[in-house]
A = this chain, B = another copy of it.
Amino acid sequence: MADVLVQEGEEPKLSKKELNKLAKKAQKASKAAEVNLVKMADVLVQEGEEPKLSKKELNKLAKKAQKASKAAEKGGNQQQSASDEQEDYSKDFYGSYGLVNSKEKKELNFLRVKEVTAANASKDIWVRGRVHTTRSKGKNCFLVLRQGVYTVQVAMFMNEKISKQMLKFVSSISKESIVDVYATINKVENPIESSLSLPLPLPKLPLQIEDASRRAPTDEEKSNEQENQLAVVNLDTRLDNRVLDLRTTTSHAIFRIQAGVCNQFRNILDARGFVEIMAPKIISAPSEGGANVFEVSYFKGSAYLAQSPQLYKQMAIAGDFEKVYTIGPVFRAEDSNTHRHMTEFVGLDLEMAFNFHYHEVMETIAEVLTQMFKGLQQNYPDEIAAVGNQYPAEPFQFCEPPLILKYPDAIALLRANGIEIGDEDDLSTPVEKFLGKLVKERYSTDFYVLDKFPLAVRPFYTMPDAHDARYSNSYDMFMRGEEILSGAQRIHDADILTERAKHHQVDLVKIQSYIDAFKYGCPPHAGGGIGLERVTMLFLGLHNIRLASLFPRDPKRLTP
């Protein structure tokens, strides 16, 4: 029987002594060898000795296994004699399933790799995993099996139950194959060696999972010529081979955290009485003016892809839903090739009727985000740490209640630090970043709200400030100095909306249905749209938004 070794710690090493001890124990083992590995195309799946398999099934399997074993040996030792083959006393215990096309139902109680812990030591278990690495040393063979973010090491030692052929078969399994193993969980005092640093080269994979998992060298490391530079996979190779790149611990962690962002957002809003709505993505006219919109052929005419669900959120408010949110794709035909722009991203949008002042909404949104950050840190500490291993970043910091900064105060802070900027100027991206740095220094927070933007730099539907016509009831929210949300009180009066649209030279005909929505009474309301991938990227301190999108889309990338 193989041993599944319980990994503990980060960069463990198995001592020589430990290895010898294990080998001796294994050789003495009187139990049948129950490691069973079965090869099929690229997917290896086990079939083997378990009480539930009939004798007939086992025989069939053994024959298949011998064939597979022969095939596996063709490339290696073609001279192997027939007598050697007859000596394969393990032949019933490994082989290939062939195509798993649901021919028969089977029940094996697989233990999850993450459940292979010291607490389960000495139990005999089935486990299914992907071959992360294999390493054979004479009469030993080690397999690291990976399942999501968890790995476990399988140790096999040649003995009276594990044949030479079986070891050869196992060590010939290509990386990224899927195998089933029956083994005993064995707790080792000195945790086992991580095979991550000993990759078996497998040229046919377009990228190696280990390389794609590696932290990029720091400038210091780069300048150190003596250091043995290990391969790091560049972003385009990653994205071209996204299926393989997604198998890294880092990718798994990123997308589990991203699912957590959505989950937190919805749960927090549900608890506050918001209703989830669905907004259409195909629209008859661009609601935000007309620039940066994708056109779609629509039967004999044409249509557009929604740049935001804003109109529909607002119509739901006019329809008395009071508090609504929606999560869905948002499309921007901007030819921006930056680290933070994509042509399609996921919007976390919310809109809320208020009683008297838009701060009721702005404060709600800021609280929702703060609550979300807390939830993420509580629920995903392992995933955050895993991402940090590859992409080191300061932990995300925030304060409670959230910091709210007025635009004029931000301008004053910038000027006091040498930035020349007019009262009603918009913030450029570098200035935003710099402001984030100043805010972090002064207030120790990576998250803050910037309130009361100049009216001139906001869209026509933004409610002007009641006290100073130069400003507006609008706000942005920032994480690590980058904008993640833009929001405002919207004009809920059809006449004023028309007037402001004219002022902005927006074609009234195109936005008629937008204006009509406010003709039969609409409560005052405000809201905002959050970029999901930006939240993920900035919460984790990633350097490129594409790492936070499963299948990113930008002006130059439409595949996979």
Chain A interface (Cβ < 8 Å from any Cβ of B): 41-45, 99-108, 110, 128, 130, 146-148, 176-178, 205, 242-247, 251-252, 255-256, 258-259, 262-263, 266, 270, 275-284, 294-299, 303, 305, 312, 315-316, 318-322, 327-329, 331, 333, 335, 343-344, 346, 355-359, 463-464, 466-467, 473, 489, 492-496, 513, 516-517, 519-524, 532, 549-553, 555, 558-560
Contact = CB atoms under 8 A, between A and B. Distances in A.
B316 A246 contact: yes
Nearest to A103: B466
Among A106, A280, A327, residue most surrounded by chain B Cβ atoms (within 10 Å): A280
- Say what secondary structure dominates the interface of chain A: loop
A275 B251 contact: no
27 contacts: A41-B493, A42-B494, A42-B522, A102-B356, A102-B358, A102-B473, A102-B524, A103-B466, A146-B320, A147-B320, A148-B321, A243-B516, A243-B520, A244-B520, A246-B321, A252-B321, A277-B550, A278-B549, A280-B344, A280-B553, A282-B331, A282-B344, A282-B558, A284-B558, A294-B297, A296-B305, A299-B555
Contacts of A41: 493-495
Please give the count of copies of this chain that the complex contains.
Answer: 2
A525 to B, nearest CB: 10
Contacts of A278: 258, 329, 346, 532, 549-550
A344 B107 CA distance: 40
B343 A282 contact: yes
Given A102-B466, A102-B489, A344-B282, A319 B276 contact: no
Contact of A296 (B108, B295, B321, B550): B295
Given A335-B299, A553-B282, A243 B517 contact: yes
Contacts of A256: 275
A493 B297 contact: no
A104 B312 contact: no
Given A110-B355, A130-B521, A513-B559, 10 more contacts: A42-B520, A43-B492, A99-B496, A100-B524, A105-B357, A130-B320, A259-B277, A280-B551, A283-B558, A315-B560
Given A101-B489, A256-B275, A493-B41, A128 B355 contact: yes
Contact of A357 (B106, B493, B555): B106
Among A105, A262, A355, A358, residue most surrounded by chain B Cβ atoms (within 10 Å): A355
A356 B104 contact: yes
A494 B41 CA distance: 9
Nearest to A275: B259
B247 A320 contact: yes
Nearest to A273: B112
Contacts of A321: 148, 246, 252, 255
A520 B329 CA distance: 29
B521 A178 contact: yes
A276 B473 CA distance: 35
B106 A43 contact: no
Contacts of A555: 299
Contact of A516 (B255, B493, B560): B560
Nearest to A493: B41
Contacts of A524: 43, 45, 100-102
Nearest to A518: B42
Nearest to A126: B355
Contact of A276 (B263, B492, B523): B263
Contacts of A99: 493, 496
Among A101, A263, A315, A473, residue most surrounded by chain B Cβ atoms (within 10 Å): A101
